[in-house]
Structure 1
Amino acid sequence: MMTDIFSSFDPASCSMYSTLSPMAFWTLSFMSISLLQPSMWTSNNRYSWIFTYPIEVMNSQASRTFSLHLKGFPSILIPLFLMLIILNLMGLLPYVFSTTSHLVLTLVLGLPMWLCLIISAIAHAPMSFTAHLLPSGAPEWLNPFLVITETLSISVRFITLSFRLAANMSAGHILLGLMGIAASSAIFSSCLSFSILFIVQLGYMIFEMGICLIQAYIFCLLISLYSDDHPSN
């Protein structure tokens, strides 16, 4: 039973959570990703472009950044992009737990990706990575402050990356929940009000589906752009 508008983000409020262990609950939340396996399908069909088009989009984005020169990095971005799209869209379905609205998931995705780029840059060219912290042409008296500012800016990237996805997805679910409560209350009071609210909620639902796609793209886009700071020599 939903006690408040935020209880939909609490996994303990889900009936399936009480019958399963936390590990099994989170594992079942990712079962839909198995649909991405090519072995699930005997041949391509008219709907195969739904998966191939996002792959082409992210592959094109990776080719425009330095991530193309990092071995294996584009092959991580593409399935990550598809996974976020599916999880974001699944969170819009009724009685489906929204995993991407939780920092537990977004931090698990954002922190390792950011940390891999940092460790790779330091191991590959530590001097070039350190020199990147100081912009060229800056006055000497400003150098210590610029180094501190740039270091903090790089250090909080995974936090802003993870919080952006979780906050945007949570805001959309909260607005949809409020619209649903208002529409259900208007059923017995005014048919006209219910019709208007239903049309508005339907339009916002379509808009939120677009937001799910955009947020998945922005998450992977920022990760690919972070790779441009990786030293090339």
Structure 2
Amino acid sequence: MLVDIFSTFDDHNFVFVNYYILMWVLVLFCGSFLFCVKWVSSSLMVELFNVLKSIIFAQSNRSFGSKLGGFSLVLCSFFIVLFIFNMSGLIPYVFSVSAHLSFSLSFGFCFWASLIISSFSYNFLASLAHLLPVGAPSFLNPFLVLVETASIFFRPLTISIRLVANISAGHIVLGLVGGFLAESIVSCSVVSLMVVCMLEMGYFTFEIGVAMIQSYIFCLLVSLYSDEHAF
């Protein structure tokens, strides 16, 4: 039973799809979708995802991460997975996985740590040189190194909180509007009910755009972090 609007973020509440089953189903769906072009004729959904993939590939190719083997493919695959997880959270009585910090932080930390380890393994001195901005006054060098080091270590947390905050806020507002819509069916006039229905449909469409934009921003930040990789 859902007792408040925040109960939708609890995987032990009554939902139609179990949390662990949902994870497996979505992962298998994403894996099969990436290779469906081999045996499925072109459709609107396939063309849509091809456009999204081309956007991510173009962004990753503009960054230095394109010089890393498999970086563009991993980033594009994760974008599709994250977009599908964000969309699944908009379905009623389906647990929203991407609205939890444990989910986003797991991927954010893995991307961040892999880039840091790869950079220091490839060129240790060049990686250390990125900690000091070019042309900075010499008396500020120790302070700037500490600030840059702290900002680098906080990156996986900030990129994860950004995703969780935007997805969670959208679900909360959507739940509030949905609750008001349920009350309007009984207590309000037909005109008020139509207005609330239009608001609900409009905000739901807006949340679909937010789901895609947040997936893109997450991958965009990862590609920007790869620009500091030592070469």
Q: Tell me the equivalent position of 1:152.
A: 150
Q: 8 Å contact 2:5–2:172 — kept in the other structure?
A: yes
Q: 8 Å contact 1:67–1:228 — kept in the other structure?
A: yes
1:52 maps onto 2:46 in alignment: no
Distance 1:185 1:16 in 2: 23
Matches within 5 A, 1:70-149: 70-149=68-147
Distance 1:46 1:99 in 2: 28
Query: Aligned residue pairs: how many?
Result: 229
Root mean square deviation, CA, Å: 1.8
State the AA in 1 paired with 2:229.
Answer: H
Measure how far apart 1:35 and its partner are: 4.0
Distance 1:129 1:14 in 2: 49
Measure how far apart 1:137 and its partner are: 1.8
Distance 1:195 1:174 in 2: 21
Q: Tell me the equivalent position of 1:224.
A: 223
Measure how far apart 1:44 and its partner are: 2.3
Q: Tell me the equivalent position of 2:171.
A: 173
Structure 1 stretches lacking a partner, 5+ long: none
1:100 is paired with a residue of what secondary structure?
coil
TM-score, normalized by length of structure 1? Answer: 0.92
Q: Tell me the equivalent position of 2:205.
A: 206
Q: 8 Å contact 1:114–1:158 — kept in the other structure?
A: yes
Cα distance, 1:61–1:227 mapped onto 2, change above 3 Å = same
Cα distance, 1:26–1:38 mapped onto 2, change above 3 Å = closer
Q: Over residues 122-165 of structure 1, what are the superposed CA-to-partner deviations in whole Å (9 max), with x where a residue is unaligned? A: 10111111111111221222111100100011111110111111
Q: Tell me the equivalent position of 1:188.
A: 186
Q: Percent identity?
A: 40
Distance 2:32 2:7 in 1: 29
Matches within 5 A, 1:7-22: 7-15=7-15
Distance 1:55 1:212 in 2: 15
Q: Over residues 165-223 of structure 1, what are the superposed CA-to-partner deviations in whole Å (9 max), with x where a residue is unaligned? A: 11100000000000011111111221222221111111111111111110000000000
Structure 2 stretches lacking a partner, 5+ long: none
1:27 maps onto 2:24 in alignment: yes
State the AA in 2 paired with 1:132.
Answer: H
1:68 is paired with a residue of what secondary structure?
helix
Distance 1:30 1:3 in 2: 30
Cα distance, 1:197–1:103 mapped onto 2, change above 3 Å = same
Q: 8 Å contact 1:187–1:194 — kept in the other structure?
A: yes
Cα distance, 1:180–1:15 mapped onto 2, change above 3 Å = closer
Cα distance, 1:186–1:166 mapped onto 2, change above 3 Å = same
1:7 is paired with a residue of what secondary structure?
helix
